Amino acid sequence: MAATSLQCKECKTPYALEARYVCERCFGPLEVVYDHERVDDVAEARRRIQGGPQNIWRYADFLPLEQPPASARRASSLSGLPAGCTPLIRADRLAERLGLGELWIKNDAANPTHSFKDRVVSVAVARARELGYEVIACASTGNLANSVAAHGAALGLESYVFIPADLEEQKVLATGVYGTHVVAVRSNYDGVNRLCTELSGERDWAFVNVNMRPYYAEGSKTLAYEVAEQLGWETPDRCVVPIASGSLFTKIARGFDEWRELGLVSGDGPTMNGAQATGCSPVAQAFAAGSDVCRPVKPDTIAKSLAIGNPADGPYAVELARRSGGGVDAVTDDEIRAGIRLLAETTGIFTETAGGVTTATLAKLAARGDIGRDERVVAFITGEGLKTLDAVRDTFTTHEIDPSYDAFEAEFAGARA
């Protein structure tokens, strides 16, 4: 594998590629570093990727695994769930509505458990198995719980998922069905996270987003690789991405950077726009204040999947937004509901509240005139609408009628014949 070590993002102390996530010197987060061979024949390297499996393992050379399940051309449950290779759809009707030129929707709801979390969990769990773990676990705002439970089921690993007790019912049901241990903690996500951080020090489990976090985070790079490949080996000009902890946001940018450095993709690094809910916007607030200290907040928003009040990668997300000429915006719960409707009505894609945050932020940027008509924009839709049904309840009318021709005619008099 091309990964050579873990390294502290703050003080650069190197560590072995083990299940560790924090620098013993300065408490900074650890990150995977690679030593990629130079790519001399770009066309050949691209063909190699294109010839790979129809899932994230086609990018195995860029992931921190010794033995990626890549050789399995046919999906087998024993190699986990096949994440990735989700559609990138040109959204002309939405673009027209917003007055934009070239707009694409990366629909990552089209993953095995219907969110981008299958990417990060695939990588974390594959690495956990290489390191010999038999139990996987996570602290989740919902989608991660779905994914960890499903991966555990596919691979025959025992799993424990920790969620805030007030999570959407759809997300709880879509987790428990896999036969995991669902632990509903009477607290918000930050309390769940604190408990799991403590537990990870005492139990020999692979917490995908705690002690396996450096590997987990790498999985999000595959979204950038896929978009680059789907755009014909070019970078987009701008990305709009939801932010909870800030990991997804920063790793999408990293994925484009890695491939630009290797010459696999052409174009500049995209302008990066982060999207948060006003009811939980520590990163947007730090950006607006011109600071890189994200003061923790107590979340209060319908976008529960993004409700992390104390985002560990917040400072890096703020820094990236600034460096790339982008920003981090926040949208209200009403704007989120409207965003879900807007995306559904113009693209046929029904997203959860996190996608409502992304769409509403895109609309806000467009209305503000921040996006040029010549820009190629990608909005990352990371989750599925069926998991947050309350967000659309009572937003339309149903026509209830008797089963008769006359009843229909009476209801729809004046409709197109």
Ligand X SMILES: Cc1ncc(COP(=O)(O)O)c(C=O)c1O
Q: Which residues bind ligand X (CB under 6 A)?
A: 115, 141, 143-144, 242-249, 305-306, 354, 382-383
Number of residues that bind another protein (CB under 8 A): 42
Q: Distance between CA 171 and CA 303 in Å, rounded?
A: 13
Q: Which is nearer to another protein, 129 or 251 (CB)?
A: 251
Task: From the list another protein, ligand X, Zn ion, none, pick the one residue 11 interacts with, judged by a Cβ distance below 5 to 8 Å according to partner type.
Answer: Zn ion
**Does residue number 12 form part of the binding site for another protein (CB under 8 A)?**
no
Q: Which is nearer to Zn ion, 26 or 367 (CB)?
A: 26
Sheet with 102-107, strands from edge to edge, namely 88-90, 102-107, 376-381, 238-242, 271-277, 327-331
Instruction: Show the tokens assigned to 129.
Output: 């198995």
Least Å distance, CB 257 to another protein, is 20
DSSP string, 216-228: HHHTTHHHHHHHH
Task: From the list ligand X, another protein, Zn ion, none, pick the one residue 27 interacts with, judged by a Cβ distance below 5 to 8 Å according to partner type.
Answer: another protein
**Does residue number 319 form part of the binding site for another protein (CB under 8 A)?**
no
**Of 151, 143, 191, 147, nearest in space to 167 by CA:** 143
**Does residue number 194 form part of the binding site for another protein (CB under 8 A)?**
yes
Burial of 182-203, coded b for 16+ CB within 10 Å and e otherwise, reads bbebeebbbbbbeebbebbeee
Residue bearing tokens 């241990």 = 181
Binding mask 149-188 for another protein (x = CB under 8 A): ----------------------------------------
Kind and range of the H or E run holding 172: helix 169-176
Least Å distance, CB 409 to ligand X, is 43
Residue 167's SS3 state is: coil
Burial class (CB in 10 A: 0-12, 13-18, 19+), 43: exposed
* Residues near Zn ion, by CB under 5 A: 8, 10-11, 13, 23, 25-26, 28
**Binder of another protein out of 193, 235, 273, 359 (CB under 8 A):** 193
222, 57 contact by CB (below 8 A): no
Q: Which is nearer to Zn ion, 30 or 294 (CB)?
A: 30
Burial class (CB in 10 A: 0-12, 13-18, 19+), 392: middle
Least Å distance, CB 50 to ligand X, is 28
Q: Distance between CA 246 and CA 220 in Å, rounded?
A: 11
**Does residue number 146 form part of the binding site for another protein (CB under 8 A)?**
no
**Does residue number 212 form part of the binding site for another protein (CB under 8 A)?**
no
Least Å distance, CB 355 to ligand X, is 7
**Does residue number 10 form part of the binding site for another protein (CB under 8 A)?**
yes
Q: Which is nearer to another protein, 36 or 298 (CB)?
A: 298
Residue 230's SS3 state is: helix
Which residues of this chain interact with another protein, rule CB under 8 A? Answer: 10, 21-22, 24-29, 117, 138-141, 144, 189-191, 193-194, 197-198, 201, 209-210, 213, 216-217, 244-247, 293, 295-296, 298, 308, 310-313, 315
